[in-house]
Amino acid sequence: MPADFNWAIGGEAGDGIDSTGKIFAQALSRAGRHVFTSKDFASRIRGGYTAYKIRTSVEQVQSVVDRLDVLIALTPRTIEENLSELHEGSVIVYDGDRTTMQNVEIPDGMVGLDVPLKSLAEDAGGAIMRNVVALGAACAVTDFPIENLDSALQKRFGNKGQKLVDNNKQAARLGRDYVTDEYDHEFDYSLETTDSDYVLLNGDEAIGMGALAAGCRFYAGYPITPATNVMEYLVGRIEHYGGHVVQAEDELSAINMALGAARAGARSMTATSGPGIDLMTETFGLVATSETPLVIVDVMRSGPSTGMPTKQEQGDLNQMLYGGHGEVPRFVLAPTTIDECFWKTVEAFNLAEKYNIPVYLTADLALAVTEQTFEPEAFDMDAVEIDRGKLVDEDEIDEWLDESGHFRTHAITHDGVSPRAKPGTAKGAHMSTGLEHDELGRRTEDTQMRVEQVDKRNRKVESAIERESFDYREYGTPGADNLVISWGSNEGALIEALELLEADDIDVHVISVPYIFPRPDLSAEINAAENVIVVECNNTGQFADVLEHDALCRVDRINKYNGVRFKADELAERITDTLADTAPAEVSQ
Amino acid sequence: MSSNVRFTDFKSDKQPTWCPGCGDFGTMNGMMKALANTGNDPDNTFIVAGIGCSGKIGTYMHSYALHGVHGRALPVGTGVKLANPDLEVMVAGGDGDGYSIGAGHFIHAVRRNIDMTYVVMDNRIYGLTKGQASPTSRSDFETSTSPEGPKQSPVNPLALALASGASFIAQSFSSDALRHAEIVQEAIEHDGFGFVNVFSPCVTFNDVDTYDYFRDSLVDLKDDGHDPTDYEAAKSVILDSEKEYQGVMYRDENAVPYGEAHGVTEDMTEIGEGAPEDAMDLVREFY
Ligand SMILES: Cc1ncc(C[n+]2csc(CCOP(=O)(O)OP(=O)(O)O)c2C)c(N)n1
Ligand code: SF4
Ligand SMILES: [Mg+2]
């Protein structure tokens, strides 16, 4: 594991925790350090405990750990909540002038820095900047050049006037100087900087950017945590490319608007979370049977019902795979990293149009709200390719007309893919419907046509499996006796867990799967391994179920459903325990 | 758009399976005439149909069309029109489709004022499911699910539209062929959301709101000297529960359609073969 440093700011929701944390993350990124953030947030309204955590290193970091080196605590609860992660030598920055913090006890062996955040902020121009004073203090503790913070402040406040930027810079300096002057202490930390230029973004933003790159020009959505960020990202940017975002009256409307735009020929998308997916399910069937290309994003949160709206879970897999009455194929893509959120979004649009099919693109909450640094080349726009599938124009349309001149929009084809004609295309006028239909899109109950249409829709899946590569990534020791399979955001923690396992001489082969359907056939790997464990953030093991079905055998499961993402050390321990439980009893000598 | 389009060009070769005498025949004919009269042709027209007897219209007309799920036709029309404003978009469905299961969308489609036309074929009954009370059924109308009548006041769709900030509200009668086509044509020509509630009698399941009833009771606003740009005058005819009216009740010529207000006036369906040229700027924003 890279030599890392772990930092957090915590307080009450409404204390500006998120934006302060983001500023520090940006400063680290500007300084050429890698960053991986995580958020503990209870709810969006004021009152709940919330924290923004940063893990940073000069090497790539891709998970969180149970360790905190520097904590900015705005409330006593912040210290309580993080006691298990604080260690000897951890530094706690707090404002002892605050009534609630007056009697705060710094645990033995830790360094408490009482900094008058509020009054220093007032000296710089306003109490509201007290969190920035704390950031300045953090710079002093970590020997981190304050200029990096300056440029992050410039980015955050630049559009609100230079005066505000300057006040904030001053606030940071007052915090730094206070620590340097008042505490004659050699801190254990020194944050090295590098010349690298990284970009810092979260999964929701990567999905939004992927959509714009892929030519998505229409988005309709209804606000819901943790998917709203996708919509907020697109608003103000999509217009530049001639597109538009509609805030619909509900998710029923959102998916139907997106469907309408797609029928008109635009690349179109909607994003929501579990409750919204439930509402969209009836129309989902219509999208699928009318063979309309559409990308539907499900940013998963804990369910059922309203569940735990701001907590991690991977519980919607069955809903995406099987949701809706009747039977109709759909694709389900599940990126496992933030940069992959970008690329899988691009791919989702291409798959949707190549196979005239709805594509679910899902990110779990941890992936969606985590910010991480990448080389900008990870999002190389020149590598984006757009394939609109069988979209026919005026010149090609004759090929698809029947003897009386009607466009065969649901033509029975060998590969299962029918042509699309955009409205406005001469001779292309046609209808489609959620009723079972003939080649012209008109209602039919003809027994033979029904079977032909069902078979044709299913052939699209076979064609896709033949033509596309529904691949996976591997880590650790290929061919090892122990195989661990994962989907979604668990990948990062698993990779780091591998190092811990290796240190204990446990060889593990990790497979991380970004395609839920169609998915890679892992039956050979599963059957060859002695122990197979499927790791996922849900209670029943929904992915494990489908893998058992594929491989016709039983697998072990590591499930987590308390609302918190996996951590590397935790995973290493649970993998070790699971392997011990399944090991054949040793014959005593 | 060709000028030699005849209204029969909008007819598909599917024979309607509506009951003989169903009001939907006349409603559809008027829509086809209005579309042809306004210079549209099947290749630039998109019809979105709801679910119900009325919703079958998508099959019997010839144009680009989608027959969607029950109650969601308006959002589909909204998406079509925004994605390609060059298309003529017409949404059609029943009173159950529009004022019951889809009522939420109705309010917001009216507010949004997208430049499209919405024709509700109001027979004051659920036709397709064989005769249950609809939101416009009279409170004492006996049906299979309301043997003593629904005992609730019927919704007044025109008032609902007015309260939601409509820019065009009209009502017509399917069997007054000339006036019905004229009124739908005005709705098409209106720059914004053109809403027409059409009395479209169900001869099989509604023996109260019949052709005879409408013929005897309808007052034509055209003969009445009604000024549709006068909000107060519109309000009083819309809220008048004593009479049934046909004609354009209200028209706000100053209302700005959604597309114009949001600068969405260009076809967004054409894209390149790769990411937009300046797409790397999106990445740089994250520095
Ligand atoms: C979600 C859903 N619920 C119920 C139905 C059954 N259904 C089909 S049409 C209809 C009512 C139709 O009434 P209306 O909209 O007035 O159309 P009409 O048949 O009178 O033209 C109902 C309840 C359905 N198709 N979908
Ligand atoms: S049941 Fe009524 S609405 Fe349906 S087709 Fe027959 S007459 Fe028309
Ligand atoms: Mg009806």
CA atoms within 13 A on the CB side of B12: 25
Q: Is the CB of B19 under 6 A from ligand 2?
A: yes
**B49 CA to middle of ligand 3, Å?**
13
CA of B134, closest atom in ligand 1? 16
Query: Which H or E element spans position A209?
Result: helix A203-213
State the first-to-last Cα distance of chain B, in angstroms, to the nearest integer.
Answer: 49
Walk me through the domains of chain A, giving residue ranges and CATH numbers: 5-182 (3.40.920.10), 201-383 (3.40.50.970), 397-467 (no CATH), 473-582 (3.40.50.920)
Q: Is A417 strand, coil or helix? A: coil
Tell me the CA distances in angstroms from B278 to A243, A283, B284, one per residue in order.
Answer: 15, 35, 10
Ligand nearest the Cα atom of residue B129: 1
pLDDT above 80 for B3: no
d(CA A132, CA A144): 14
- At B222 the pLDDT is 95
Query: Does residue B6 lie in a domain region?
Result: no
Angle at A516 between CA A512 and CA A521, to 5 degrees: 70
B113-133 pLDDT, tens digit per residue, is 999 999 999 999 999 999 999
Chain B closest-CA separation from residue A425 CA (Å): 6
Q: Which residues line ligand 1 (CB under 6 A)?
A: B 51-54, 70, 93-97, 121, 123, 125-129, 134
CATH code of the domain in which B151 resides: 3.40.50.970
**Do A244 and B82 make contact, defined as CB atoms within 8 angstroms?**
yes
Q: CA B57 from chain center: how many Å?
A: 12
Q: Which residues of chain B have a CB within 8 Å of the CB of A425?
A: 43
Handedness of CA A548, A343, A393, A220 (dihedral sign): positive
What length is written for chain A? 589
Q: Residues of chain A whose pLDDT is less than 70? A: 1-2, 42-47, 584-589
Looking at beta carbons, which residues of chain A come within 8 Å of B84?
264-266, 422-424
C-alpha dihedral over B151, B152, B156, B157, to 10 degrees?
A: -110
CA–CA distance, A9 with A81 (Å, rounded to integer): 12
**Closest to B195 in 3D by CA, of B124, B88, B121:** B121
Peptide bond before residue A376 is cis, with ω within 30 degrees of 0: no
For residue B18 and ligand 2, the question of a CB distance below 6 A is answered with yes
State how far the Cα of B150 lies from the Cα of B53, in Å rounded to an integer. 21
Reduce the secondary structure of chain B to three states and give it as a string: CCCCCCHHHHECCCCCCCCCCCHHHHHHHHHHHHHHHCCCCHHHEEEEECCCCHHHHHHHECCEEEECCCCCHHHHHHHHHHHCCCCEEEEEEEHHHHHHHCHHHHHHHHHHCCCCEEEEEECCCECCCCCECCCCCCCCCCECCECCCCCCCCCCHHHHHHHCCCCEEEEEECCCHHHHHHHHHHHHHCCCCEEEEEECCCCCCCCCCCHHHHHHHEEEHHHHCCCCCCHHHHHHHHHCCCCEEEEEEEECCCCCCHHHHCCCCCCCCCCCCECCCCCHHHHHCCC
Q: Determine contact, residues A407/A400, Cβ cutoff 8 Å.
A: yes
Question: Cα–chain-centroid distance for residue A290?
Answer: 29
Mutate which: A256, A259, A282, vs B, most B CBs within 10 A = A256
CA A166, CA A413: separation in Å to the nearest integer? 66
Q: Which atom of ligand 1 is nearest to the CA of B98?
A: 15
The owner of tokens 């649901």 is A410
Contacts of B195 (CB under 8 A, 6+ apart): B110, B117, B118, B120, B161, B166, B168, B169, B170, B187
Inter-chain contact B276–A283, Cβ cutoff 8 Å?
Answer: no
| CB contact at 8 A, A285 and A349 | no
**Minimum-distance CB partner of A265 among B66, B75, B84:** B84
Q: How many domains does chain B have?
A: 1
CA distance A287 to A357: 8
Element (H, E) at A48: none
Q: Do B79 and A215 touch (CB under 8 A)?
A: no
**Closest residue to atom 10 of ligand 1, CA basis:** B52
Mutate to test the interface with A, among B2, B69, B97, B285 (most CBs of A within 10 A): B69
Which ligand lies nearest the alpha carbon of B92? Answer: 1
Separation between Cα atoms, residue A390 and residue A494, nearest integer Å? 40
Question: Is A4 in contact with A189 (CB distance < 8 Å)?
Answer: no
Q: Which residues in chain A have their CB less than 8 angstroms from residue B269's CB? A: 217, 264-266, 422
> Can you read off the two tokens belonging to residue B16?
């309607």
DSSP assignment, residue A414?
T
- For residue B130, the one-letter residue type is K
Report the alpha-carbon distance of residue A452 to residue B187 in Å, rounded: 41
Residue B1 lies in a domain: no
Give chain A positions within 8 Å (CB) of B62: 429
Check whether B182 has a pLDDT greater than 80. yes
Distance CA(A358)–CA(A277), nearest Å, equals 13
For A261, which of B82, B271, B282 is closest by C-beta distance? B82
Nearest CA to ligand 2 atom 6: B19
Consecutive H or E run containing A444? none
- Ligand 1 atom nearest to B95, measured from its CA: 16
- CA–CA dist A143, A527 (Å, integer): 52
pLDDT of residue A184: 85
Using a 6 Å cutoff on CB, does residue B22 contact ligand 2? yes
pTM of full prediction above 0.80: yes
Domain region containing B35: 15-284
- Side chain identity at A59, as an amino acid letter? E
Position A186 scores a pLDDT of 87
- Ligand 1 geometric centre to CA of B52 (Å): 5
B48 CA: distance to closest CA in chain A (Å): 9
Q: Whose CA is nearest to atom 3 of ligand 1?
A: B70
Distance B68 CA to ligand 1 centre (A): 12
Residue from B15, B17, B18 to probe ligand 2 pocket by mutation (most atoms less than 8 Å from CB)? B18
Give dist(CA A552, CA A544) in Å, integer.
11
Contact A264 B264 (CB under 8 A): no
Per the DSSP assignment, residues forming a β-bridge with A294 are A358
DSSP A137-174: HHHHHHT--HHHHHHHHHHHHGGG-HHHHHHHHHHHHH
pLDDT at B1 over 60: no
Residue A547 Cα to chain centre, angstroms: 23
Among all bound ligands, the one having the nearest atom to the CA of B205 is: 2
Query: Is the residue at B137 inside a domain?
Result: yes
Closest-CA residue to A21 (of A83, A65, A68, A72): A72
Q: Which residues of A touch B107 (CB under 8 A)?
A: 249
Q: A–B: how many Cβ contacts below 8 A? A: 214
Residue B44 backbone dihedrals phi, psi, to 5 degrees? -115, 10
Residue with tokens 């195989």: A483
Q: Which residues pair with A24 in a beta bridge?
A: none
Min CA distance, A87 vs chain B (Å)? 33
Calculated CA dihedral for residues A9, A11, A16, A20, nearest 10 degrees: -10
Q: Supply the angle between the helices B103-112 and B73-83 in degrees, to the nearest 10.
A: 30
Write out chain A residues lying below 8 Å of B76, CB-based.
Answer: 256-257, 259-260, 263
> Does a cis peptide bond (omega within 30 degrees of 0) precede residue B150?
no
Distance B97 CA to ligand 1 centre (A): 6
Query: Is B2 a domain residue?
Result: no
**Which residues in chain A are closer than 8 Å to B67, comparing Cβ atoms?**
431-435
CA of A543 to the centre of ligand 3 (A): 45
**Whole-number percent of chain B with pLDDT over 70:** 99
